Amino acid sequence: MGAVRSRADRALVVVRYAALVVLAVFFLLPFHVIVRTVFSSSKLIAAQWQGLPGKWNYANITELLTNSDVEMGTSLRSPSSPPS
């Protein structure tokens, strides 16, 4: 059987979990902004901030992967690999 907890102990557990949820959201916010920006058009990014784009723009990713100046394949190698 579990130990009987007082009201103060239960309140402390609730406060701890609430703090963890707030910190988790704060930690994940930059990743949300990155994903939102990748799939947004330039006009939408400059106009106003919103949670997710209304129309997903996959041309940004296609342009990135086909751009020879970026070299996505070599940029994903480990840093110890010699440059080609």
Dump pLDDT digits (tens) for 14-64.
999 999 999 999 999 888 888 877 777 766 565 566 666 677 777 877 777
Q: What pLDDT score does 57 carry?
A: 77
Q: What pLDDT score does 13 carry?
A: 92
Tell me the one-letter amino acid at 12: L
Whether pLDDT at 77 is above 50? yes
CA atoms within 13 A on the CB side of 5: 9
Token pair, residue 64, equals 């990135």
Residue carrying structure tokens 């704060």: 26
Q: In this structure, what DSSP letter does residue 58 have?
A: T
pTM: 0.43
Instruction: Decide: helix, strand or coil at residue 37.
Output: helix
pLDDT band for position 1 (cuts 50, 70, 90):
very low
